[in-house]
Copies of this chain bind each other. A is one copy, B any other.
């Protein structure tokens, strides 16, 4: 059993697993650094009560004097993608600030509302925003964020602002549809969900915004359509792989690192890819798993049995193989974009770093 996706990914990227970790961390920091001031401006434009919710949710403050003032914020992967998007086409890095902010605002909306939808009371070791500020404030803060996202890109001072608005709207539409499909799949039996059905859902739920982040800076710069398409495709495939790794970490990751108790997805009836593959496998274990994973939530007591059946049917390895294929697709799309060598290397560091993430 591989420990992460690194084995497969190392092959596709042609580098040593972990060799670009410094560059990966540097990219995340650079993305955050360029996006954060514009992100803070956008949040600062909100009604005071909603700005408080968002500052807390984004990890900028503790919401009151007793809570921790600084927490481990998210990874800000999408701002890093936005940075690579402008570097890919040699556009001004200021475009990355606007594009990365718009995409990050949408991502944060999705987290805020997801926590309400899932009834999750903890995120990153603290109460979720709705648990801390109430459902009303958190619903409304999410609404405010999506409007700020559109406003930010619509008002961008760039030749492609209008096309970028189109790109963002389309991504949010796809993201919401993907989330709806994810919810709908909770009420389906695992063996009724096909791998293409799962990938379609993941491409909406996670791939659409990754693709948008990867393309948006280039769209602002009015880069050639073939390049935009390649970047969007690479981002979208990377998003699907990211989602699959999320599924894997939710089952076999370290809850202390992911901030999510292992097995939560199982009990909730989420149709993660390892389950879909295992329940669809033509074996006695697969059929037993399919029988356990009906449309109703799984009783906690059955989690150990399900985990055992997942091992026996190689659900994890097979899911990782699907992820690796999407990573390969992303790399192929980037090759088609004919990036400058140094930017290509940065993209590979990002892909490699994301594939090896443990949280």
- Stretch from A113-121, A254-262, A269-277, A346-354 that touches the partner: A113-121
- Asked whether B139 lies within 8 Å of A176 as measured between CB atoms, the reply is no
Contacts of A116 on B, CB cut-off 8 Å? 135-136, 139
The CA-CA distance from A165 to B151 in the complex, in Å, is 9
Chain B residues with Cβ under 8 A from A166's Cβ?
154
Q: State whether the Cβ of A329 lies closer than 8 Å to any Cβ in chain B.
A: no
Inter-chain contact B172/A147, CB cutoff 8 Å: yes
Decide: B180 and A47 in contact? CB cutoff 8 A.
yes
Q: Is the interface of A mostly helix, strand, loop or mixed?
A: helix
| A143-B47 Cα distance, complex, nearest whole Å | 19
A144-B110 Cα distance, complex, nearest whole Å = 12
- Report if A177 contacts B (CB, 8 A): yes
- A21 within 8 Å of B (CB atoms): no
CB contact between A176 and one of B50, B165, B169 (< 8 Å): that residue: B50
| A179 interfacial contact with B, CB 8 Å | yes
Contact B143 A109, beta carbon cutoff 8 Å: yes
B-chain residues with CB within 8 Å of residue A139 when the two chains form the complex: 113, 116-117, 139, 142
Report yes or no: B143 in contact with A113, Cβ–Cβ below 8 A. yes
**Which residues of A, 34-71, contact B by the 8 Å Cβ criterion?**
45-50
Nearest chain B CB to A128 CB, angstrom units = 14
> Which B residues lie within 8 Å of A147 (CB)?
146, 169, 172-173, 176
Count of this chain's copies in the oligomeric assembly: 2
Q: Out of B47, B48, B117, B177, which one reaches A46, CB within 8 Å?
A: B177
Please tell me if A30 contacts chain B, counting CB pairs below 8 Å: no
Cβ of A181 within 8 Å of any chain B Cβ, yes or no, is yes
* Contacts A147-B146, A151-B169; A136 near B47 (Cβ below 8 A): no
Interface string of A136-169 (1 = CB under 8 A from B): 1101101110111011001000000010011001
Which chain B residues border A165 with CB–CB below 8 Å? 154, 165
**With A143-B142, A150-B169, A169-B154 given, is the CB distance from A180 to B117 under 8 Å?**
no
A297 to chain B, nearest CB (A): 13
Residues from chain B with a CB closer than 8 A to the CB of A336 are none
Decide: A176 and B118 in contact? CB cutoff 8 A: no
Shortest Cβ distance from A113 into B: residue:
B139
Contact of A183 among B140, B172, B179, B181 (CB under 8 A): B140
Contacts of A284 in B (CB 8 A): none
Given the complex, which residues of B lie within 8 Å of A179, measured CB to CB?
A: 140
The answer to whether residues A140 and B49 also contact, given A146-B147, A147-B146 and a CB cut-off of 8 A, is: no
The list of the 6 closest CB pairs from A to B, nearest first, reads A117-B136, A47-B180, A47-B177, A144-B176, A147-B172, A49-B184
Q: List 15 A-B contacts (CB under 8 A).
A: A47-B176, A50-B177, A50-B180, A117-B136, A117-B140, A135-B135, A137-B180, A140-B179, A143-B176, A144-B180, A147-B169, A147-B173, A147-B176, A151-B169, A154-B169
On A, residues with C-beta under 8 Å from B are 45-50, 109, 113, 116-118, 135-137, 139-140, 142-144, 146-148, 150-151, 154, 162, 165-166, 169, 172-173, 176-177, 179-181, 183-184
Q: A46-B180, A135-B135 are in contact. List 10 more A-B contacts (CB 8 A).
A: A49-B183, A49-B184, A116-B135, A116-B136, A139-B142, A143-B146, A144-B173, A146-B146, A150-B150, A151-B169
